[in-house]
């Protein structure tokens, strides 16, 4: 369901991409020339890497871009054999029509094994005249240096809150969804600069009710609202362990939170809690990091969260 909305509202041209001004300027220059070197798009998910690759391809070839494009998800086809067969076979054939080169788009290229990346490096070198590669990844450090040196690197940043909010409200208007102002702000807050996550939140809420409210957003995204997390911290400081533990259980049950989800959300909101001192925030950050590590390593969720609550109560009451 999410991919349908994302694809429907995806920019069809580089010039339509929002929130990545410097990148749009460079890609627009490539589109105007009708040529570009091998490209590496790196950055967090939902920031426009795939959109930029497809928009640039459309600008180069027009509506017939699919005939000269091979799109692969490298996390699904990460083995050496796929690079040696599928990619090499496409790269060695002539471009369709009057095009001077073809494009191979490898999404999630950081999932490729080192052997596959080694083979890809050689193919990029051999067929650079008739084929261009666009690689996208979340972590450029997982791409071997020989490939990085062959590419023009574009680093995507998380989208600004105003860009996410504007696009969410634009999509809601097009889809005839009534979106409350505070609901739009809630979507921006939980998206953390990820446009895909923002549109997913809007779509899931709209599928339940055509009138999207702030409460509905938090309910459908398994996210606790900031005030609920602040109340938990206040309970730890003022009401004692048992009251804070009951409030914690209520949050987990109401919003369907896993232990690591709760800690991550509490960590983000803790810095907005004016009633906490800087020293308390430092102590709680260290405590949350320790409990999060224990949960990731397989520690019992209920016991670890209760222990965290006890230590927060002890820290804030002293």
What does the alpha-carbon distance between residue 119 and residue 87 come to, in Å, rounded to a whole number?
A: 10
Task: Kindly provide the b/e burial profile for residues 76-105, where b requires at least 16 CB atoms within 10 angstroms of the residue's own CB.
Answer: ebbebebbbeebbebbeeeeeeebebbbbb
What does the alpha-carbon distance between residue 83 and residue 180 come to, in Å, rounded to a whole number?
A: 48
* 161-220 is a CATH 3.40.30.10 domain: no
What does the alpha-carbon distance between residue 66 and residue 71 come to, in Å, rounded to a whole number?
A: 9
Here the tokens at position 183 are: 């609901």
DSSP letters, 79-109, are SHHHIIIIIHHHHHSPPSTT-S-EEEEEETG
Per-residue confidence (pLDDT) for residue 178, from 0 to 100 = 92
Whole-number average pLDDT of the chain: 86
- The residue ranking higher by pLDDT, 246 or 123, is 246
* 226-317 is a CATH 1.10.260.40 domain: no
Per-residue confidence (pLDDT) for residue 8, from 0 to 100 = 66
pLDDT tens, residue by residue, 111-138? 888 888 888 888 888 888 888 889 998 9
pLDDT category at 1 given cuts 50, 70, 90 is very low
SS3 21: helix
Q: Between 3.60.21.10, 3.40.630.10, 3.40.50.300, 2.60.120.10, what CATH number should domain 2-155 receive?
A: 3.40.50.300
Task: Indicate whether 193 pLDDT > 80.
Answer: yes
pLDDT category at 3 given cuts 50, 70, 90 is low
Here the tokens at position 23 are: 């990148």
pLDDT tens, residue by residue, 46-59? 888 888 888 888 88
pLDDT tens, residue by residue, 155-170? 999 888 898 999 899 8
Here the tokens at position 91 are: 């790269």
DSSP letters, 146-162, are HHHHTSEEEE--PPPHH
Per-residue confidence (pLDDT) for residue 86, from 0 to 100 = 75
Q: Where do the structural domains in the chain lie, given as residue ranges?
A: 2-155, 161-220, 226-317
């Amino acid at each position: 369901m999410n991919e349908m909305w994302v694809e429907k509202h995806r920019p069809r041209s580089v010039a339509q991409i929002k929130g990545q001004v410097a990148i749009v300027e460079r890609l627009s220059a490539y589109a105007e020339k009708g040529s570009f070197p091998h490209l590496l798009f790196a950055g967090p998910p939902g920031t426009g890497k795939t959109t930029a690759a497809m928009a640039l391809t459309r600008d180069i070839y027009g509506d017939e871009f699919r005939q000269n494009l091979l799109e692969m998800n490298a996390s699904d086809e990460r083995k050496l054999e796929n690079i040696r067969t599928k990619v090499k076979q496409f790269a060695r054939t002539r471009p369709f029509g009057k095009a001077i080169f073809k494009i191979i788009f490898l999404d999630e290229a950081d999932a490729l094994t080192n052997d596959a990346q080694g083979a890809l490096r050689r193919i990029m070198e051999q067929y650079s005249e008739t084929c261009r590669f666009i690689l996208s990844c979340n972590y450029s450090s997982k791409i071997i240096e020989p490939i990085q040196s062959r590419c023009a690197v574009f680093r995507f940043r998380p989208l600004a809150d105003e860009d996410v909010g504007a696009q969410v409200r634009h999509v809601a208007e097009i889809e005839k969804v009534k979106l409350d102002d505070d609901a739009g702000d809630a979507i921006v807050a939980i998206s953390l600069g990820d446009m895909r996550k923002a549109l997913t939140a809007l779509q899931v809420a709209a599928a339940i009710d055509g009138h999207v409210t702030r409460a509905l957003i938090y309910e459908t995204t398994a996210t606790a609202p900031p005030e609920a997390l602040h109340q938990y911290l206040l309970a730890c400081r003022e009401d004692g362990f048992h009251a804070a533990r009951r409030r914690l259980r209520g949050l987990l049950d109401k919003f369907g939170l896993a232990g690591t989800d709760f800690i991550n959300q509490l960590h983000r909101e803790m810095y907005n809690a004016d009633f906490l001192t800087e020293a308390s925030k430092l102590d709680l950050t260290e405590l949350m990091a320790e409990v999060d590590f224990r949960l990731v390593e397989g520690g019992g969720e209920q016991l670890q969260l209760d222990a965290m609550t006890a230590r927060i109560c002890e820290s804030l009451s002293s």
